[in-house]
A and B are shown apart, each in its own frame.
Chain A
């Protein structure tokens, strides 16, 4: 039997265990037993294994041969922990919820996955009861299309922005407005980002991006505008509040700017794109969105406990390096950055043949998915930006993508009126979910992995479950 000398390594390049002489026909399941033994885990945890960034799918031998890796040297096998829970794929539509009288523009699950809000062109925001799958509340205060809805990471507030540039803060349980409408923006709201939970467990700060070239940071308790981030020359398309005290803004003036979240000071500008920057994603997006809540659905005694949990989750995903940022643009390219470290990009990711509408990091930060108007979704490595594969299947521009919380599934919505579920491991289409009668504008995977919600131009909200 042929053997190779192998060395197990963590994703952060630390050796674990001694060098081992392994048979070449060893498969991932056997490797998993081995690693669990080396690390002395009490329970067996799932891992995936990589040699030079190539995943071991069937046997070690196959991977080595396919990618022409020599066994003369010590083979470095990197093991990456998988999430210990598994989200079951959604396969059917459990309910079709009418109510909105215009196209649904945005849907968002709460951080625990127990509440759901949708914003529509009929100026209302609707809250839905996920247990009974019925309408819960209709929130009326906006005077124009509601473009963006976003739950705070503690789940106690809901921010909505509309076409008139007004922002409302709601209590998602009672459906009442918490403070007066924030109406300083002169043009429509494009994006809303809450302050990360591990930095401020009160969750009372909010950044809103607008077409009027500014980002405003608000104190939601008082309704004051703390500071304005002005400097972009064109409409801002996206704002992200990072976990390291930085605010990132992407704009149609081709730049990404980095600001201090403490006082709104301008720090640096990232300029490599050749056209509008449409979208942006952090590798910590998911943990920032869900704050302290994970699959165990913990109840926290105090804010301190919750903050600790949020910080732990954040550090786990971030690892030792600083945050990664990926941007997608109208020039058909994407860039991977590490804005805290340096001003130049790590990698230019090319391959799409149309503009990129959305990019999304998987919750564990290892995979980037990009949705493009060229009808395809591409997957990229989250650390290096290397191309992994293309997912074909949609016959219209892909509008939105969303990962499941275990990073094993991806759901996408498209202009062709379908929602599709993709398996990340096999890189194939898992489920095709037809049913909408028109373009599907918004899709969101529930953080608890129970359901997917999609909103369409046909004015219906659909909930998909296993």
Chain B
């Protein structure tokens, strides 16, 4: 036992003083007065620290009280989830996540809204030829300057064969060719990786459309047959348009929004 703990030692030997517990009780009762006095008196950093500590104590106390109350208060009954009702024969099946299957009711809502051809990105930065193409010098002395290399992402059709190099004016580098686009469905807020079918329109010009250049704002056609969209007549929808929302040449991926 350390030398200085003489009080404990005495209590151990002779027991508590007769008024010990009474004094403790009174001290405890007076404690809050002390606390309030302290909080008034303290200034500066010490006040800040003190209040922080008091705040933590009180929060702890409140938590404890609410914990006790929880047993007695009535809890609200959980309302069962009502959305996405399924008939019995589909209940045990692992259906494709509902977002994959497009709901026609959503389409209906969209129809009610006015404005048919609201493209998500109405205005795009015009891209000049200089930016789009890099001059490729050819010939034995590298004197000729009629070949161009496309510096943007491109989509090249499946059955494309190169022309002989002598006639090939535009080169579309393999590393910038893309077959898939990450298409967001704006109402379902889900993304699908879909095959690109063709480039519908590049806003910078018809030449770029023909070349299959994909820049920000380009309208592409994507294959949505996996999504199971059906027309009201009961036919499966195959291709749908989407607009590119990022700069694919910078990001290495094509992000697009489906135009529903």
Q: Which residues of A approach B to under 8 Å, CB–CB?
A: 102-103, 105-106, 120-123, 143-145, 147-148, 163-164, 188-191, 211, 235, 237, 252, 276, 278-279, 357-358, 394-396, 399, 414-418, 432, 434-438, 441-442, 457-459
B87 contact from A252, A278, A416, A442, Cβ within 8 A = A442
User: Are the CB atoms of A435 and B80 closer together than 8 Å?
Assistant: no
B235 to chain A, nearest CB (A): 7
A438-B80 CB under 8 A given contacts A147-B87, A416-B234: no
B73 within 8 Å of A by Cβ? no
Listed stretches B5-13, B100-108, B154-162; interface member: B100-108
Complex CA gap A377/B120 in Å reads 43
Q: B131: CB under 8 A from chain A?
A: no
Contact A458 B228 (CB under 8 A): no
| Complex contacts, B88 vs chain A, CB 8 Å | 105, 147-148, 188-191, 237
B129 interface hit (Cβ, 8 Å)? no
Whether B228 lies near A396 (C-beta < 8 A) is yes
- Contact check, A458 vs B105: say whether CB atoms are below 8 A apart: yes
Whole-angstrom distance between the Cβ of A16 and the nearest chain B Cβ: 43
Size range of the chain B interface in the assembly: 20 to 34
Is the CB–CB distance between A417 and B82 below 8 Å?
no
Whether B85 pairs with A105 at a CB distance below 8 angstroms is yes
- Nearest Cβ in chain B — how far from A191, in angstroms? 7
A108 to B235 CA separation, bound complex (whole angstroms): 28
Cβ of A366 to closest chain B Cβ, rounded Å? 25
Additional pairs, 18, CB under 8 Å, beyond known A188-B91, A396-B230, A438-B105: A106-B87, A120-B85, A121-B85, A122-B85, A144-B82, A145-B82, A147-B88, A237-B89, A395-B230, A395-B236, A396-B234, A399-B89, A417-B104, A417-B234, A437-B105, A437-B107, A437-B232, A438-B104
CA gap between A145 and B88 in the complex, in Å? 10
Known interface pairs A435-B232, A438-B103, A438-B104. Does A358 touch B89 (Cβ–Cβ under 8 Å)? yes
Other-chain contact of B234, A144, A418, A442 (Cβ < 8 Å): A418
4 nearest CB pairs, A to B: A121-B85, A418-B234, A437-B104, A105-B87
Provide the residues of chain B in CB contact with A416, threshold 8 Å.
230, 234, 236
Q: Is B82 touching A434 in the complex (CB atoms < 8 A)?
A: no
Does B139 sit at the interface, judged by CB under 8 A? no
Q: Report A-chain residues with C-beta under 8 Å of the C-beta of B174.
A: none
Q: Which residues of B contact A120 (CB under 8 A)?
A: 85
Total A-B residue pairs with C-beta atoms closer than 8 Å? 91
B94 to chain A, nearest CB (A): 12
Q: Residue on B with the closest CB to A433?
A: B234
B157 to chain A, nearest CB (A): 27
Inter-subunit contact A102/B104 (CB<8 Å): no
B130 within 8 A of A: no
**With known contacts A396-B230, A438-B104, A163–B89 Cβ distance under 8 A:** no
- List 28 A-B pairs, Cβ < 8 Å: A105-B87, A105-B88, A121-B83, A122-B85, A123-B82, A144-B82, A145-B82, A145-B86, A147-B88, A164-B80, A189-B88, A191-B88, A211-B91, A252-B92, A276-B92, A279-B89, A358-B89, A395-B230, A395-B235, A396-B228, A399-B87, A399-B89, A414-B234, A416-B234, A418-B233, A434-B232, A437-B104, A459-B105
Contacts of A457 in B (CB 8 A): 103, 105
Residue in B85, B92, B234 whose CB lies within 8 Å of A434: B234
Other-chain contact of B89, A122, A188, A357, A417 (Cβ < 8 Å): A357
Residues of B within 8 A of A (CB): 80, 82-89, 91-92, 103-105, 107-108, 228, 230, 232-236
B80 close to A121 (CB less than 8 A): no
Bound state CA distance, A290 and B234, in angstroms? 33
Inter-chain contact B80/A143, CB cutoff 8 Å: yes
Q: How far is the CA of A458 from the CA of B233 in the complex (A)?
A: 15
A418 to chain B: which residues have CB within 8 Å? 233-234
In the complex, chain B residues whose CB is within 8 Å of the CB of A123: 82
Q: What's the Cα separation between A399 and B90 when bound, in Å? A: 9
Question: What chain B residues lie within 8 Å of A147 (beta carbons)?
Answer: 87-88, 91
Query: In the complex, how many angstroms separate the beta carbon of A450 from the nearest chain B beta carbon?
Result: 25
Distance (Å) between the CB of B185 and the closest chain A CB? 16
Write out the residue numbers on chain B whose beta carbons fall within 8 Å of the beta carbon of A276. Answer: 92
Report the Cα distance A436→B233, complex, angstroms: 9
A122 to B107, CA, bound (A): 21
What CA separation (Å) do A418 and B235 show in the bound complex? Answer: 10
Shortest beta-carbon distance from B230 to chain A in Å? 5
Chain A residue contacts of B91, Cβ below 8 A: 147, 188, 211
Q: Which residues of A contact B104 (CB under 8 A)?
A: 417, 437-438, 458
Give chain A nearest CB distance to B160 CB in angstroms.
32
Which of B83, B85, B234 makes the CB contact (< 8 A) with A395?
A: B234
Residues of chain B lying within 8 A (CB to CB) of residue A143: 80
Closest-by-CB residue of B relative to A102 is B85
